[in-house]
A and B are shown apart, each in its own frame.
Chain A
Amino acid sequence: MKNLEIGGRQFQSRLFLGTGKFGSPEMMMKAVASSETEMVTVALKRMDLQKKEDSILSALRGFKGILLPNTSGARDAKEAVFAAHMAREALGTSWLKLEIHPDPRYLLPDPVETLKAAEILVKDGFVVLPYIQADPVLCKRLEEAGTAAVMPLAAPIGSNSGLQTRSMLEIIIEQSNVPVVIDAGLGAPSHACAAMEMGADACLVNTAIAVAGNPEAMGECFRDAVAAGRRAYETGLPTASRAAASSPLTSFLDL
């Protein structure tokens, strides 16, 4: 399996993890370990950057991968940009998952504000990974703005409903010059595997692992599914056999 490169950094794992919704930091760390992820995202609003012993940050202290703070809770570009700078100052990282969802129910991202914030943050030197709708034009606009990847959603966050936006994701994958990370809505390892078979560069999973009966075991399942899907994509999936007309339309040419 080829390494994934984002923002000049190599990743062997193509599975990223969200850290919300786990029953305890210990359970989260078991899933982080079993999934072999090298990138985890943490909500800025959950971290207590003033406390030396913040439970999430303490648990992640030994984590060797990229800690990706996210701006979940921001409703517009202004709030997201401000929060991003706070995160960089406190955590000493320029990596950022840009999330702007003014709708608190379905947590759907605001395309206008996300693009606006991405343009500012890229100029400010951030490695920006924006969470967005599966909108191919928006992905190209974000790529032009200089984001390090695009993170289109497969379905609403936490819905576990799989690749509902498949047709749009196919176009995004076909057109993108930056890595495409399928984010949100993947509810089963088979969903993640299918996304990787389509040619996605990586998947981000949270709810499906955190709320599973055994998050540690589910972390492994997603690890294997993502790897299998990616290897299948790199190997080249056989195409479906085509139907042959019983009376060929061009047979008259042979006469």
Chain B
Amino acid sequence: MTFNEYHARFDWDEIQQRIYSKTLSDVDRALSKKSPLDLEDFMALISEAALPRLEEMAQKSRALTLKRFGNTMQMYIPLYLSNECSNCCTYCGFSHLNKELERRTLSDLEILSEIKVIKETPFEHLLLVTGEDARTSGFEYLRHAVRLCKPYFKHLSIEVQPMGVEEYSVLASEGVSAVLVYQETYHRENYRKYHLAGKKSIFSYRMDTPDRICEAGIRKCGIGCLIGLEDWRTDSFFTALHLRYLEKKYWKTRFSISFPRLRPHAGLEDQKNIQTDRELIQLICAYRLFDPDVELSLSTRESPRFRDHAIRLGITSISAGSRTDPGGYSLSKTELPQFVINDDRTPEEVCKVVRENGYEVVWKDWDPSLDAL
């Protein structure tokens, strides 16, 4: 059974109703248990009823994270290869419908220029990002880009269009050790509202992508939902359900969760789903108590102040100095970014804060020799 089939057993409205009917005693019961917790406990911890217990959740989350991951913070940097995209996602700057965006897919020389600039910093973990366009940045383009980048970085991850098992296997053999793919929303019916056209409009294909990533033997799979599209609590329940399903089925794969969060902006259809800072901290801590081993990652979408505190509460991996426009590191004139960066500090500035919080900054936590390629 794939996750798409498993997911069909659950009713969104019923789950939402169960989360919103959790009480403080459900929260206290969850907090009295030893992690990992079950999904009922997770529902309690992400419910509104848990907000009065946020400090206790944060204390427990911090302790569990220190025990499992130590006083360390993993660092990565994204490299946007292309903003060309055949999908029409209502919330994304790369949407095919965005006619104002000048499209760009980096050439070999441009990729090497970007690498040159990035290598002036100590990053060894590179995340390659593209839109979804088979003509310009399809599988072969990506494989080629991986080959270009591989000699310069110890750890390569990708966040690109969903692919098949065979393609992921090839990329694994080329040295890609992590693939991130976000479901955006687990609401089967409303997914169509946000994904109007393109391959991404097929809900089930995207939903089964982590299964294919794991089957292909990719070492780490990152999942998540776009916080703010639908009710974040219900979507986060399904993310946790997905995580638990994957961990049980693919016991050799590592998993990470990211927290892409929509900010209030004009044109966003439903502002009521916007998540507050307090609620995002609640969610981070709830995931940690639910699963002490899962990696939790926070990008530069979030503000410096928020990130500087969140790293002490459960986050294990952050980016810094990011540009989210292709060519953003080395070209003077670039296009609009995919999302607005709230933390535009340099890697050095971010690292200083990380160290001041008592963490060792970890640039390298993988060695290609372990791939035995």
Contacts and interface: CB of A to CB of B under 8 A. Distances in A.
Contacts of B69: 21
Interface in B319-373: 355, 358-360, 362-367, 369-372
Interface string B251-282: 11110000000000000000000000000000
Nearest to A54: B364
17 contacts: A22-B72, A23-B71, A23-B358, A24-B355, A55-B360, A73-B366, A75-B252, A81-B372, A86-B367, A102-B252, A104-B253, A104-B254, A105-B247, A106-B293, A207-B70, A210-B70, A210-B71
- Residue of B68, B247, B364 most packed against chain A (CB within 10 A): B364
Interface in B52-70: 66-70
Contacts of A21: 69-72
B124 interface: yes
Nearest to A103: B251
Given A158-B67, A211-B66, A20 B72 contact: yes
Contacts of B362: 46
Nearest to B368: A86
Interface string A6-28: 00000000000000111111010
Contacts of A23: 71-72, 358-360
B358 A46 contact: no
A45 B365 contact: yes
Contact of B369 (A82, A102, A106): A82
A74 interface: yes
B372 A78 contact: yes
Interface of B: 66-72, 124, 154, 219, 247, 251-254, 293, 355, 358-360, 362-367, 369-372
A190 interface: no
A74 B370 contact: yes
Nearest to B359: A23
Contacts of B366: 45, 73
B359 A79 contact: no
Contacts of B359: 23
A25 B29 CA distance: 40
B66 to A, nearest CB: 5
Contacts of A45: 364-367, 370
Contacts of A102: 251-252
B293 A104 contact: yes
B70 to A, nearest CB: 2
Nearest to B73: A23
B367 A44 contact: yes
A183 to B, nearest CB: 17
Contacts of A44: 367, 369-370
A160 interface: yes
A94 interface: no
A48 B293 CA distance: 25
Contacts of A24: 71, 355, 360
A37 interface: no
Given A23-B359, A47-B364, 8 more contacts: A27-B71, A48-B363, A48-B364, A49-B367, A79-B371, A82-B372, A105-B247, A160-B67
A140 B366 CA distance: 32
A49 B252 CA distance: 27
A83 interface: yes
Given A20-B70, A82-B372, A25 B367 contact: no
Interface in A43-63: 44-49, 55
B204 to A, nearest CB: 27
- Residue of B67, B251, B364, B369 most packed against chain A (CB within 10 A): B369
A25 B360 CA distance: 8
A48 B367 CA distance: 8
A74 B124 CA distance: 19
A49 B68 CA distance: 26
Contacts of A87: 369
Contacts of B364: 45-48
Contact of A83 (B355, B363, B369): B369
Closest 5 A-B residue pairs measured CB to CB? A21-B70, A23-B71, A86-B369, A82-B372, A104-B254
A44 B70 CA distance: 17
A71 interface: yes
A47 B367 contact: yes
A73 B367 contact: yes
Contacts of B124: 48
A105 B255 CA distance: 9
Nearest to B291: A105
Contacts of B253: 104
A102 B68 CA distance: 17
A73 B124 CA distance: 17
A120 B154 CA distance: 26
